[in-house]
Amino acid sequence: MNDLLGDVLRAADPGTVRRDSPLSERALRELAAFEAAERELAAFEAAERELATNQTSERDPAATNQTSEHELATNEAAKHDLAATEAAERAGTSTPAEAHHVRAGTRRPSSADRSGSGVEARGSRRPAGRPARLRPRGRLGLAAGAIAAFAAVAIFVVALINPGPALAATPPLLELTRVSGSAPELLTEMAQMQRTQPPAGDTIRAQMWALNTSIAEDGSIESSVTEPQRSETVFAADGSVHLVLTAAPPFPGQEAAGLPKPGTVLVDESFPSGQWEFPAEAGPPTSVDEVGAYLAALTDDPNLSDGQTLREIAGILSNFPITRAQEAALLGYLATLDNITVAGQTTDRLGRKGIVFQARDRSPDFEDRLIVSPKHGQILAAETLYVGSSRTDIASPSVIDYVAWER
C-alpha cells in the first residue's frame, strides 16, 4: 500500500523483534533440542518397525506385563500433554471454569524451560524407547477423544449456568429449495451460458457484510456486528483503482440503532496504478485447464480445499474485473472438483434466483458457498456459514460473511 503512513507506523513499532529477525541464541538452542529429539524418535520408530516384523507369537509373559505398565505410564503422560495442548488451543472465555481449565492445562514457562532444557526434560519423562505417540493410534485416540468430550461437556454446562454475553445477531440463513442436477452438470451448463453473455464492465459493485471478529487480549474470540456495506470499485484504464464504501441498510433482524445512516460514505480512496492488491497481470486464465495452477500460485498453496477455492474465487470477483471468458473458466474448473455439492435453489439477498453450491472440506467449522444464476450463469454471491459447536459468540449454523455482486 502507498505508504508514508505505513512507514511512519513501522518506525513507531515498540517491538524489538520482527517477523524476519534472525533467531536468538535461545531459539537456536531449543531448535537444536527439537531436531535431536526428532532424530532420536525417527531412529526409534525404525527400530520398532523392525521389531514388529521380527516378532514371534511366543513372548516372555513377564516382559509383556512390564511393557503394558510402561505403556500405561507413558499414555498417562501423553494424555496430560494432550489435555494441556487442547486447553491452550481452545479459545478462552471469561468463565471461571474454563479459565481454570486453561490455567491448569497450560504449563507455565518454568525455569527449566528458560534454560532451554525443557525439551530434554520432556524427553526423559518418556522411558527410553516408548514415545507414547508412536503407540497404536487407537488407544491414544480414544483417550484424546474422551478428554475432548469431557472438556466440551464441562464448557457446555458452565455456559448454561453462566450464559455470558448474548449471541451476536447475524443475517438470516437463505431458504433453500431442492433442485435437480449434480454440481458438475449445473456448473458446466453455467460456464457455457457465461460465454454467450455480453462483456462485463470495469466497475465492481457489491453489497457485503462480515462479522467483525477479533481476538481479545485474553485470547477469546470477540465478535461485534457492524452494518452491511456497499462497495463500488472502479478500475481505470491507467491502472488506478477508486474504491468507495458506503453504509448499506441493516440486514433483516438487525438492530438499526447506532448504525451509520445508509449511504454514509465510509471510505473514498484512490489507489495509484500498481497499488491495488490485485494487479492487472494477476487475472485468472480463460482456459479451465490452467485455473488450478493459477489458484495454487495465487495462494501459494498447491493443496487448496474446495471450500478455499470457493473463497478465492469470491476474492477474485471482488477485486478484479474479470471477463466472461475468465468467469466461465472458473465455473468450468469448479465442475471438476469432488467436494462441491448443490445445496439447493434460493433467492439471494439481492432478490435474485440462484443455485447454491457448497463445500464443507475447508474446516469442520465452516461451510463455504457460491451462488450462481441459473438464468445467465453469472456468479451472484458468496457466503460462509459457521457450523461448528465450540464458539460462544454466535449461534450455529449462522452466516458469518456474505458478499453479493450487483451484476
Partner 1 sequence: MSEFSEFFRANHSLVVGVAERRLSSRQDGEEIATEAFRIAWERHRAGEPLSVPWLYGVVRNLIGNEYRRRDRQENLHTHLGEELSSHPDSLDETHADVRDALQRLPHIHRDVLMMTYWEDLTTREIAEILGTTPLAIRTRLVRARRLLRSALADLDQHTSTEVSTHE
Contact pattern for partner 1 over residues 362 through 401, marking x by CB under 8 A = ----x-----------------x-x-------------xx
CB-CB contact of 189 with 377 (8 Å)? yes
| CA atoms 120, 122, 128, 131: torsion sign | negative
Min dist. Cβ of residue 159 to partner 1 (A): 18
Report how far residue 68's alpha carbon sits from residue 125's, in angstroms, rounded to the nearest whole number.
17
Look-up of cell digits 462441491 = 340
Q: Is 107 in the site for partner 1 (CB under 8 A)?
A: yes
Q: How many CA atoms lie within 13 A of 271 on its CB side?
A: 18
Q: Are strands 379-386 and 398-405 parallel, antiparallel or unpaired?
A: antiparallel
Min dist. Cβ of residue 180 to partner 1 (A): 31
CB-CB contact of 105 with 84 (8 Å)? yes
Contact pattern for partner 1 over residues 234 through 273, marking x by CB under 8 A = ---------x-x--------------------xx-x----
Q: Could you give phi then psi for residue 368, rounded to 5 degrees?
A: -105, 140
Residues 289-308 that bind partner 1 (CB under 8 A): 299
Is the CB of 31 or the CB of 153 nearer to partner 1? 31
**The only residue of 162, 182, 214, 273 in contact with partner 1, by rule CB under 8 A:** 214
What are the grid coordinates assigned to 47, written together? 527400530
Residues 145-174 that bind partner 1 (CB under 8 A): none
**The only residue of 197, 275, 318, 347 in contact with partner 1, by rule CB under 8 A:** 318
Helices 183-194/324-334 angle, 10° precision: 170
Q: Is 319 in the site for partner 1 (CB under 8 A)?
A: yes
By CB under 8 A, how many residues form the interface with partner 1?
87
Which H or E run contains 354?
Answer: strand 353-363
Q: Is 85 in the site for partner 1 (CB under 8 A)?
A: yes
Q: Is 11 in the site for partner 1 (CB under 8 A)?
A: yes
Among 15-23, 145-153, 182-190, 252-260, the segment contacting partner 1 (CB under 8 A): 15-23
What are the grid coordinates assigned to 89, written together? 488451543
**The only residue of 68, 182, 212, 389 in contact with partner 1, by rule CB under 8 A:** 212
SS3 (DSSP) at 292: helix
What are the grid coordinates assigned to 108, written together? 507455565
Min dist. Cβ of residue 60 to partner 1 (A): 30
Helices 25-54/118-125 angle, 10° precision: 20
Min dist. Cβ of residue 92 to partner 1 (A): 5
Among 117-125, 175-183, 255-263, 279-287, the segment contacting partner 1 (CB under 8 A): 117-125
